[in-house]
A and B are shown apart, each in its own frame.
Chain A
Amino acid sequence: MTWFSPEGVVWTPASPRLIPVRLITATAYFVVPAAAAVVASLTLHRNFWWVLAVVVVLAAWSAWITVRVVHAHGWAERDDDLLVRRGRLVRRVTVVPYGRMQYVEVTSGPVERAFGICSIQLHTASPGTDASLSGVLASDAERLRDRLTARGEAQLAGL
């Protein structure tokens, strides 16, 4: 046993559609420097091609990281709590009891919507609770949210 994965827990992985969504979002950070490097190399000095090379390498590296991180992300519904696992380099599993959930928030940005996924964020009374699910299929999200809310209400405890 090298990492936290209790027996009998069935993990739901994040949808692979999250990969293109993350990549598209990340592209925004690389397009501008890459374009600037291209323009500079054409107009100023040809050594600016090196800058472009660095940008491309960085982009490729972050793409690889994105793929790994998305594969590492997942969640599992247990009887009394929800497990959320994320991270590859820094691994983290959060255990959120249903009875502690204050509210559940479903969000989806324009890119996420285009790929038919959304994010679900769970809030407890603690600012430290870091439990968000990314890459939830839109078709599952409603049901998951309702299930979480129902379980939360059934087990709700005072602070």
Chain B
Amino acid sequence: MTEQHERVFSAPREWTHVHPVSPLLGGWAVFAAAIGYWFSQGPGAPSSEEQLDLHLTLARVALIVAALAALAIGFGYLSWSFHTYRITDEAIEQRKGLLMRQHRQARLDRVQAVDVVQPLVSRIFGFAKLTVEVAGGEKSGIQLMYLRLADAEALRNEVLLLAAGFRAEVAARSSGEDAPRGEFSLRHEMEGFRLAPAPGSAHTAVAAAEERPLVAVPIPRLLGSIALSWGTVTMVILAVVFAAGSLALGIALPEVDLVAVFFGGGFFGVLSALFGMFTYAMASLNRGMNFRLGISQDGVRLAHGLMETRRQTIPPGRVQAVQFKQSLLWRGRDWWEIVANVAGYQDDQQAVSTLMPVGTRGEALTALWSVLPNLGDADPAGTVSRALSGSGAEGGFVTAPRAARWIDPIQWRQRGVRATDTALFIRRGRLVRELMVVPHERTQSLAITQGVLERALGLATVEVHSTKGVVRPVAQHLAVADAIALVEAQAQRARERRKVQTPEQWMAKVGLADADADADAPSSAAQSEASPAVTQEAPHDGR
């Protein structure tokens, strides 16, 4: 740690190995070491011959385990020696593979998200995994396991800097080893942000863009939200039902021992329900612990995690679709959960898709502005608010007609669709309120479908295809004429918006000094009134 303060960490331009300790950081190695240790200690219950026998067996097992571990580690090092990476002006490149050689190149202008992930073991030892997600097919992203945390951060900062469209020589100049600490940061020249490196962060050649914190989830609220979530409630109901059922059985059949029945049947039911509750709560806790949402020059920054921490950076314009959710029990406090689709993310969608695990309506709106700064509406806060908790045609929504009640009795009144100049709102849900927001320029394709019952009732469903992720925007059971009009209009709007969408290199248009005239100025100005804290200086608002 002491050495880190003297060194300037920078991203390698030459082929470089990932850290040599990497093969040891996989969870299994620690596990094997633990087993070996346990065997070497022995159970410790002394008893003459038997014990000797046992010890011999144990020694043999220990030997096998040790041999296997050595083999695995040896193999790990062999593949480590083939695992290298480097960064160029256009791409981040990775070479790996023992038998099947792989050379993967991720173009920086296609970067969708950059994550620094620290599983528990590597966090303890100060290492991190860096993942760079790019647009284009499965397995097109790059995962570097493992780097020193400072190396990972240096690489992340440089990737984001280059991805934003800053010219290479600028970045190269700034990465000189001898650059004094105050001057290496290009961000200095950006207006609107002060340079204040996060406390304890390493000295990297390209400093991390300064982050403006927007939302943090307090732990009591997170715990409360988990206690009031559907998962918990279902499990509690199940446990009560099991307990009551076995109790009732015991009363109805008095000759049977009540305690025996309870422990025989109900107990295991209760236990499994409680276990389900526990795993659910742990998953939610892991996801929402220490959650922070902030915004920076590089885009939206998310940080969260209990055991495994994850720090995500999602550059401007990379969010493909957003979904708000509010279950019945959250309604009293007006809490909302937000998830989003980001292209490139493949696995572990639950962990990567959360934009806000729980927050008030105000925070939810802030989070929405941070990823979709321009909703193309004169009164975005009012519109979204109405979209969140309204019903019927209020707020300009096209709703499902009365005929829909036959196949959709519960939520037909809540269903509604509304398009602004830049995004499509789809509202649904009675018990769990949901709102989906899809920017027109992110629409991949559209479909209109009609099943047998829908045809009989004169209804149709419109799908908006987003990239892979948890949000799947569908507007169900609209009147056929409305659905047809929606598809046509939506195709047209998507076409228009594609022409004016965010450049992939999000700072390239702005440049270092000469900011372009802003096409979206009127609407973003309107929006900054709605949430001045975010939009006035939000970097990608004034693109």
Name A residues whose Cβ lies closer than 8 Å to a Cβ of B: 1-4, 6, 80-81, 87, 89-97, 99-100, 102, 124-131, 155, 157-159
Contacts and interface: CB of A to CB of B under 8 A. Distances in A.
Contacts, number: 99
Contacts of A2: 480
Q: Which of A87, A92, A131, A159 has the most CB of B within 10 A?
A: A159
Nearest to B491: A95
Nearest to A91: B450
Given A90-B452, A125-B467, A128-B463, A4 B445 contact: no
7 contacts: A128-B444, A128-B466, A129-B444, A130-B447, A158-B110, A158-B135, A159-B442
Q: Which of B136, B442, B450 has the most CB of A within 10 A?
A: B450
Given A92-B448, A92-B449, A129-B445, A1 B112 contact: no
The 6 closest A-B pairs by CB, nearest first: A126-B444, A126-B465, A128-B465, A95-B446, A124-B444, A94-B447
A6 B495 contact: no
B92 to A, nearest CB: 18
Contacts of B137: 102
A106 B501 CA distance: 31
A99 B243 CA distance: 59
B221 interface: no
Chain A's interface: helix, strand, loop or mixed, by majority? loop
B472 interface: yes
Contact of A125 (B135, B318, B503): B135
Interface stretch (B230-238, B481-489, B527-535): B481-489
Interface residues of B, number: 41
Given A90-B452, A91-B450, A92-B449, A1 B481 contact: yes
Nearest to B343: A159
B450 A3 contact: yes
B487 A95 contact: yes
A93 B468 CA distance: 21
Nearest to B484: A4
B498 interface: yes
B445 A131 contact: yes
A157 B498 CA distance: 7
B445 A95 contact: yes
A80 B495 contact: yes
Contacts of B135: 125, 158-159
Nearest to B468: A127
Given A126-B466, A129-B465, A159-B112, A93 B480 contact: no
A159 B503 CA distance: 10
Contacts of A96: 445
B200 interface: no
A81 B498 CA distance: 13
Contacts of B494: 97
Contacts of A158: 110, 135, 501, 503-504
A108 B488 CA distance: 32
B244 to A, nearest CB: 43
B284 interface: no
Contacts of B332: none
Given A126-B465, A157-B441, A97 B495 contact: yes
A6 B445 contact: no
Given A6-B488, A126-B466, A159-B112, A97 B452 contact: no
